[in-house]
Amino acid sequence: MYFCLIVAFLVHVISSYALVDGIWNPNAPSSLGRRSPDVNGPLDDGVLEKRGATTCGPSANNAGVCGTGPYYCDAPSCHFQYGPACDANQTPAGVNTTSVPRPKLGSTPYGVSIRDCGIPGKVALTFDDGPYIYTSALLDLLKENGVKATFFVVGNNGGKGQINDPKTGYPALIQRMYNEGHQIGSHTWSHADLSTLSRQQRYDQVVKNEMALTDILGFFPTYLRPPYESCNTDCLSDLKDLGYHVANYDIDTLDWQGDYGHSQNIFSSNLKSVSPSTRGFISLAHDIHDETVHTFTTYMIDTLRAAGYSTALYGECMSDPPANWYRNSTTGQPFNGSSHNSTSSSTAKSVSGSTNSTTTDTVHTSTTATPSAVSGGEGAFGSRTGNTTVSGTNSTIAKSQSATGTGTKLSGTTAKVVGAGVVWVLTCWAFSI
Ligand SMILES: *[C@@H]1O[C@H](CO)[C@@H](O)[C@H](O)[C@H]1NC(C)=O
Ligand SMILES: *[C@@H]1O[C@H](CO)[C@@H](O)[C@H](O)[C@H]1NC(C)=O
Ligand SMILES: *[C@@H]1O[C@H](CO)[C@@H](O)[C@H](O)[C@H]1NC(C)=O
Ligand SMILES: *[C@@H]1O[C@H](CO)[C@@H](O)[C@H](O)[C@H]1NC(C)=O
Ligand SMILES: *[C@@H]1O[C@H](CO)[C@@H](O)[C@H](O)[C@H]1NC(C)=O
Ligand SMILES: *[C@@H]1O[C@H](CO)[C@@H](O)[C@H](O)[C@H]1NC(C)=O
Ligand SMILES: *[C@@H]1O[C@H](CO)[C@@H](O)[C@H](O)[C@H]1NC(C)=O
Ligand SMILES: [Zn+2]
């Protein structure tokens, strides 16, 4: 019995640690607790722990409000205005792209929130917030199924490290995405709520992700998905100036909430609500969640095929030629060749050959005109960056950060308590038989 309790205690300590680590992504503590074998190598725990130990502040006139660990340092929960060491404040290696010319390319609209796939019968599967430790497995799965998807990547979130830092393993993963014919869009540098930022801060969020992506690929995207689907009129205007299409979606699977039965219903009921001959869809999921990658993606692929749809890339839904999906980071012109990898350009081009251009214009101009503030939707990271009012003590910060999301701190704590109880009971039970 004593032995049982000792072992249970050890298991408890270990599991608590995993759940604490899960704070950076409180909606999926269990998935972080059981990392898949593919995390070995450069993307191991060591990287995350090292980041968490960095001190963010305190700054001179806000002594006391800054701290260490994921709550303080990891984007997007980190209050970048207060913590100089906040991930959001890091600048990636690479050439500053601010002065790259940004001519408007193609006929896909700028300055509006795009939501629908212009091609009937097509579903653009999109994955946000990665790359992360499950992305490699997702690429394997997509390849097995002959599916191309669109990835809206974040430069540095969840304490994962900078995407263009070779130590993280992400540069190779992003090159692989491109080489295997997937489309890459931007989801900002550190998952900021763009509507809450100044023009200069928005530029920073966009430019730093361009710098990192250019460092990896040699060019940068023209499609950007605003975190939390949040982009007010100032934001829409800035993104237009920066040469980005605002690439939203019309099926939010809510996979980050962890209720995959619900996510399946959302996905299938949308597809079945109309005939594939009349319209297409753009769906949202997140490759930072184990179950999304290992279970739900297969469900989406099987379901869309059974309902008579096939997949498309985001740019294909817009009937936008692949060259317009990216800019040459020197000239700002369409990136259509690949000095980077000649195999890859033919991959991307051949994918575009399947585009059905017959029906596009009418549908994709039905984009929302000028939403004053598009909000809601994506809450994969719970809390938001931006100018959150911070007052008082450390615990106030933690509270306000978790409260802005969906009560994530609370659910994390609950999960921890319940998890610990289950672990103790199961461990003792295991040793009693
Ligand atoms: C913030 O937290 C640190 C470490 O836990 C503590 O030393 C400090 O007193 C706290 N500051 C305030 C204002 O509570
Ligand atoms: C890039 O250059 C612009 C213009 O010189 C400057 O305002 C901005 O701070 C720079 N950004 C980074 C991340 O270095
Ligand atoms: C180019 O893409 C091909 C096909 O995916 C891949 O096998 C090859 O390793 C890539 N080459 C480089 C230099 O990235
Ligand atoms: C961008 O354009 C310049 C000038 O045409 C060219 O030299 C360079 O190779 C291009 N970059 C890439 C990544 O294709
Ligand atoms: C790249 O695309 C532009 C615009 O579509 C075109 O003018 C140019 O000829 C293309 N260059 C190559 C090398 O295909
Ligand atoms: C293109 O779309 C039209 C209208 O939905 C359809 O009739 C046609 O078969 C499609 N062509 C291809 C190649 O998918
Ligand atoms: C946050 O917003 C408030 C009110 O809009 C403003 O007074 C304050 O200066 C802002 N703080 C930062 C750090 O941007
Ligand atoms: Zn996101």
Is the residue at 160 inside a domain?
yes
409 and 356 housed in the same domain: no
Question: Residues 250, 282: contact at Cβ < 8 Å?
Answer: yes
Of 226, 281, 293, nearest to 256 (Cα)?
293
103 in a structural domain:
no
Range of the domain at 117: 113-374
Length of the chain: 433
Both structure tokens of 348: 């991307």
**Closest-lying ligand to the alpha carbon of 228?**
8
Ligand 4 centroid distance, CA of 339 (Å): 8
* pLDDT at residue 49, rounded to an integer: 29
Where residue 208 sits, what CATH number does that domain have? 3.20.20.370
| Residue tagged 């992003």 (tokens) | 174
Query: Is 108 a member of any domain?
Result: no
Helix residue ranges, H only, 103-257: 135-145, 170-179, 199-217, 233-241
Residues 174, 206 within the same domain: yes
Q: How far apart are CA 369 and CA 151, in angstroms?
A: 25
Give the position, in ligand 3's atom list, of the atom nearest the Cα of 344: 2
Give the pLDDT of the chain (433 residues) as one tens digit per residue.
455 445 444 434 333 333 222 222 322 222 222 222 222 223 223 232 223 334 564 433 444 455 666 666 777 766 676 556 778 888 999 999 999 999 999 999 999 999 999 999 999 999 999 999 999 999 999 999 999 999 999 999 888 899 999 999 999 999 999 999 999 999 999 998 999 999 999 999 999 999 999 999 999 999 999 999 999 999 999 999 999 999 999 999 999 999 999 999 999 999 999 999 999 999 999 999 999 999 999 999 999 999 999 999 999 999 999 999 999 999 999 997 653 333 333 333 232 323 333 333 333 333 333 333 333 334 434 333 322 222 222 222 222 222 222 212 222 222 333 333 333 444 344 434 3
**261 CB neighbour count, 10 Å cutoff:** 7
In this prediction the pTM is 0.67
CB 67 less than 6 A from any atom of ligand 1:
yes
Q: Whose CA is nearest to atom 10 of ligand 5?
A: 336
* Beta-sheet pairing, 245-247 with 310-311: unpaired
Does residue 370 sit in the same domain as residue 395? Answer: no
* Catalytic residue flag (residue 286): yes
Asked whether residue 269 falls in the same domain as residue 328, the answer is yes
Task: State yes or no: is 238 an active-site residue.
Answer: no
Does residue 416 lie within any of the structural domains? yes
Strands 310-311 and 122-128: parallel
What b/e readout covers 98-115, taking b as 16+ CB neighbours within 10 angstroms? eebebeebbebbbbbbbb
User: What's the pLDDT score for residue 178?
Assistant: 96
344 within some domain:
yes
11 and 149 in a single domain? The answer is no
Choose the catalytic residue: 79, 187, 245, 286: 286
- Cβ atoms of 184 and 153 within 8 Å: the answer is yes
Q: Copy the structure tokens of residue 267.
A: 């996905």
Whether residue 102 is contained in a domain is answered as: no
- Of the three residues 374, 391, 407, the one that is the final residue of a domain is 374
Angstrom distance (rounded) from CA 433 to CA 430: 6
Per-residue pLDDT of 166-216, as tens digits, reads: 999 999 999 999 999 999 999 999 998 999 999 999 999 999 999 999 999
Regarding whether 322 and 367 lie in a shared domain, the answer is yes
For residues 34 and 182, membership in a common domain is answered with no
Task: Mark whether 199 and 316 lie in a shared domain.
Answer: yes
* Protein residue closest via CA to atom 10 of ligand 7: 387
100 domain-assigned: no
Q: In angstroms, what is the span from residue 178 Cα to ligand 5's centroid? A: 19
Both 143 and 264 in one domain: the answer is: yes
- Report CA(394)–ligand 1 centroid distance (Å): 6
| Residue with CA nearest ligand 2 atom 6 | 98
Rounded to a whole number, what is the distance in angstroms from the first to the last CA of the chain? 12
Nearest ligand to the C-alpha of residue 61?
7
Number of domains within the chain: 2
In this structure, the answer to whether residues 346 and 402 fall within a common structural domain is no
Same domain, residue pair 81 and 17: yes
- 368 and 406: one domain? no
Ligand 2 shell residues, CB under 6 Å? 91, 96, 98, 207-208
pLDDT score, position 166: 94
**Distance between Cα 22 and ligand 1 center (Å):** 22
Among residues 374, 397, 413, the one where a domain terminates is: 374
Q: Where a domain ends, among 348, 374, 400?
A: 374
What does the alpha-carbon distance between residue 135 and residue 168 come to, in Å, rounded to a whole number? 13
74 within some domain = yes
Q: Could you tell me how far CA 227 lies from the centroid of its own chain? A: 8
